[in-house]
Amino acid sequence: MEELVALCKRRGFIFQSAEIYGGLQGVYDFGPLGVELKNNLKSAWWKSMVYENDNIEGLDASILTNSIVLDYSGHTETFSDPMVDCKSCGLRFREDQVPKSCKKEDLTEPRQFNLMFKTNIGPIDDGNSYAYLRPETAQQIFTNFKNILDSTSSSLPFGIAQIGKAFRNEITPRNFIFRVREFEQMELEYFVAPGDDDDAHTSWVQKRLNWWEKQGVPINNIELYEVPTDELAHYSKRTVDLMYKFPHGLEELEGIANRTDFDLGSHSKKQSELNLHAKVKLNKDSNSKLSIKNNDGAMVVPFVIEPSAGVERGMLAVLNEAFTIENLPENKSRIVLKLKAHLAPIKAAIIPLKKNDEKLVDLAKNIKSTLQELALGRVVLENTGNIGKSYRKHDEIGTPLCITVDFETLENNSVTVRDRDSMQQERLDIKDIKNLFEEKIK
């Protein structure tokens, strides 16, 4: 973990937030390469959900959440962790995360601590006009269910996908970006007819495993954890967690839950007419029945299968898999980030052999703009004149291709192309670069 954290800082992937003031615990900023990697991971998820499935629609709902939504979702009442204070060291811990150095007799009785961030709405802070920063992206998908049904021609089964920030006032944020207070989720709520939920759940577990494999996180490094009944969230009939071997241990990367008809039922009016399976709080505030016509024409409240993955945890898993230290001849070694090409923050570096040589730099710029126009991701001009240093840097940040423009290029239009993983170099005509780049990066 230390080496990975050091690389992330040194190369501009991830920084502690407000570092110049000592930082803000559990909050991170994503630097020039981190933002690219993050966007690429989110884009791969979005493509696999929204573009590759005609029955999945996208949504980008608000972060500020009306408190009433979270009352009916159950978060106000139950979204809490048991917390204890240590009278000796004066610190507060989650009950299951008390360090061994704190003696049992110094700990207070556990108290529930709600994890939601509350914020004031409007100019008067009278304690009554508040909202929450959403603790999961899911709720606004449920509250928009009718809007999306009315504005699309969706019928069961169908899904609504969303990527966005979520906030949790974690008592003990830790392990770099693994457990943080501000993070992003990639959540799909997949609505199915009651009775079709068990099969849909099993099928989504497999689809999600396959997707992680495509991002460079092998299925063999993920264990399925069948969450025991007494640990299930209040809304869940069954949850399968994808547990990944993070550098600090085996922990949850993504949860795939069968949320039954709990959420749509909870946010509906006239619940007694809806034949709900889940036990829900009586709703006196909603103006909608969140139901849909089943294939046989009956109105039903669908069951929901929810694959929910954290972007930061995904980045950590992807970086951990890609991070490699390779031994080279002559007792040398190199760090190389073997990221899948579609996730790499920079797709290719174009390197003029001599810094500021006008002819070489012009040619390099032309190649850069030709490749950049393909819109497959960021291509950079690396005008340092130090070829060895440039290769080392681009190995460390996972750039799949380095293309060097040298004096031979001026004579015969050929360039040297170096592959990140094999370090093999080949001489190619400039006109063939576009094809090679497309082949490698797509």
Footprint on this chain of ligand GAP (rule: CB under 6 A): 136, 138, 168, 170, 179-180, 183, 185, 187, 252-255, 306, 308-310, 312-313
User: Which CB atom, from 311 or from 346, has the smaller least distance to ligand GAP?
Assistant: 311
CA distance 160 to 167: 21
Closer residue to ligand GAP, CB minimum distance, 310 or 400: 310
List of E strands, 157-264 = 158-167, 182-192, 222-226, 238-246, 249-260
Q: What is residue 159's three-state secondary structure?
A: strand
What is the separation of C-alpha 233 from the centre of its chain, rounded to a whole number of angstroms? 21
Whose Cβ is closer to ligand GAP: residue 157's or residue 310's? 310
- Which residue lies nearer to ligand GAP by CB, 315 or 360? 315
Give the integer Cα–Cα distance in Å for 81 and 309.
Answer: 20
Task: Decide whether 308 or 409 has the Cβ nearer to ligand GAP.
Answer: 308
Least CB distance to ligand GAP at residue 290 (A): 17
Q: Which is nearer to ligand GAP, 74 or 377 (CB)?
A: 74
Task: Report the relative pairing of strands 80-85 and 92-94 from DSSP bridges.
Answer: antiparallel
Are 415 and 427 in contact by the 8 Å Cβ rule? The answer is yes
Least CB distance from residue 181 to ligand GAP, whole Å? 7
Closer by beta carbon to ligand GAP, 140 or else 268? 140
Q: How far is the CB of 162 from ligand GAP (least distance, A)?
A: 10
Q: How many whole angstroms separate alpha carbon 198 and alpha carbon 29?
A: 39
Pull the structure tokens for residue 425.
Answer: 């170099």
CB of 26 to ligand GAP, least distance (A): 8
Question: Taking the complex as a whole, how short is the minimal distance between the CB of residue 406 and ligand GAP, in angstroms?
Answer: 46
Measured at CB, which residue is nearest to ligand GAP? 310
Let me know: does 78 contact 235? Beta carbons within 8 Å. Answer: no
Can you spell out the DSSP letters for 84-121?
A: EEBTTT--EEEGGG--TTS-GGGBPPPEEEE-PEEEE-
- Residue 216 C-beta: closest distance to ligand GAP, Å: 17
DSSP state of 413: S
Nearer to ligand GAP, 312 or 395 (CB): 312
Tokens 């073997």 found at = 338
Report the residue number, 82 or 385, with the smaller CB distance to ligand GAP.
Answer: 82
**Minimum distance from CB of 305 to ligand GAP (Å)?**
12
- Asked whether the beta carbons of 400 and 344 are under 8 A apart, the reply is yes
Min. distance of Cβ 18 from ligand GAP in angstroms? 18
Asked if 338 and 420 count as a contact pair (C-beta separation under 8 A), the reply is yes
CB of 325 to ligand GAP, least distance (A): 27
Rg of the chain in Å (alpha carbons): 25
Give the burial string for 23-44 (b: 16+ CB within 10 Å, else e): eeebbbebbebbebbbbbbbeb
In angstroms, the CA 265 to CA 290 distance is 7
Find the shortest distance in angstroms from Cβ 243 to ligand GAP: 10
Residues 6+ apart with CB under 8 A from 40: 342, 343, 344, 345, 377
Nearest distance in Å: CB 303, ligand GAP: 15
Q: How far apart are CA 193 and CA 200, in angstroms?
A: 10
Who's near 25: CB < 8 A, 6+ residues apart?
173, 181
Q: CA-to-CA distance for 383 and 250, rounded, in angstroms?
A: 42
Specify the residue, 137 or 271, whose C-beta has the smaller distance to ligand GAP.
137
Q: Which is nearer to ligand GAP, 50 or 346 (CB)?
A: 50
